[in-house]
Structure 1
């Protein structure tokens, strides 16, 4: 038997709401047990510097020297992750998987940027820390995302689910994994909560605002002709690839929310149809699962049961952090975490940098 590791995963998404931390026990192939998890919100100052760094990154776009604010943002990010880690009882943790904060993702230029100094956490907590999971895949010609599919398969196997299962994550950007026995397919799908949150200046947590409006489906169909949706899968996206708010002048609050909810659901349908595998069920994780309007639209558009991850005993808020815990063990064991059918990388790729305590 392979060694079972106790491992901490850390994830911070493009919504800039905070750090998710979760502990699992795994050998990097199967899930042994789920441990505790928590979310540690960014302070106002941490969120501010990360937001300013993100905007600076969009302007920089990998041209010339990196903006000075990146160093300040990385200091804030590492501090937030140390706080989240310290809030859990990590006695006995063998390794940490540290995703970091994505500021800019441009696989078309073979570049991606996730802030986060793995060495900082390795030294602070006296155990190896795996970080920078995406760069090797992008450098090899892959999309660098999504990386969670191999963990989604482990979750489906752990739950004993048969038939074709889709795991759909609705964060700032959507991504889907299709699991058909040993066949694993994945792709980003397009916008999820990002444009809707930006439109509302907050979250439509239960979908109430979206449900009150009338969607402009003609406008959505125009958006669905964008280059991203015409590209073959697997494909990846940056949250700001779907900055459609400038095209919504004159719309009221509720109609705009309804239109963006429809954009999310129809983009998922379009990507799943591209993949040419019809799921028997869709399990939804990420913040979008709370939006009942999006969940209803997905069920109508996909023609199968669409269920929140909690229905299967999964902690949806912890899944991405758990995924990077799982991927960290795979890196230690030299097992690939991205594949031709998940990121488009030519060969299965391990990815990830190992930092040891100093």
Structure 2
């Protein structure tokens, strides 16, 4: 979805483990828990999302640069999702629902539905526009919106839309759906520009799940429900727990009497700094300014979204900040430099 904050901050993001050493610094806990912040999207009946990436403590996990968790929201009260055509550059959007249905239209001419257990991945590259609207039959909306930064070599990648419905696999006392990358012998055919892992994990009450993982990846566990522990550390609902590179296994436990669900995200530390503002990812302040100007000028760079029936056919971009925002480094870099 669009980041429709009225005053979005420009953020310079860097990888989460710039030393490449893999192990956390001495004296730091093995699991770093990132607490979410509430962000209202839109007007008086706006959806509120819980954002864990980016933030001051950590800006990226692999190439994952943005994570919003929302719901379960009663659509009758919240108004649901209705995001007019808006732009993206330099990233891929990853939409994952737990409950409800969202209609997607983009400037490729794609008309598709986002449904629970099915991933929609859209590549922005040099520029794409899309709209997102919860369907009339949706009464409860619940899911996650994730963004992946494109490496510099692929910043101008052509527009693309991919859809995949991963098979639900039973592993011990858990159900796993691998929607990006590979895990537990299962592979997603969805193509990305850096190695990535994305999977939904649902643990039975009282179950422990131990997974073999790629030690070159750092990992994040975004908890959807209460009761989860990652490597013995409690991860509250909507929090994102981070693990550095170097691990060959990770263990999750469900301490609750209900099923517990989470998203497992991973990838090798991203070696490039990126500048992210509103719905744009670039490499400099000038990249962001140019993207905003092109969008506001209705440039062909983004194309046209056909079929959206809302009153606003072109979501205006907020004003660019008057000054540059200083780069913000991740906790691991601060620890190394202290």
Greater fraction helix? 1
* TM-score, structure 2 as length reference: 0.30
* TM-score, structure 1 as length reference: 0.29
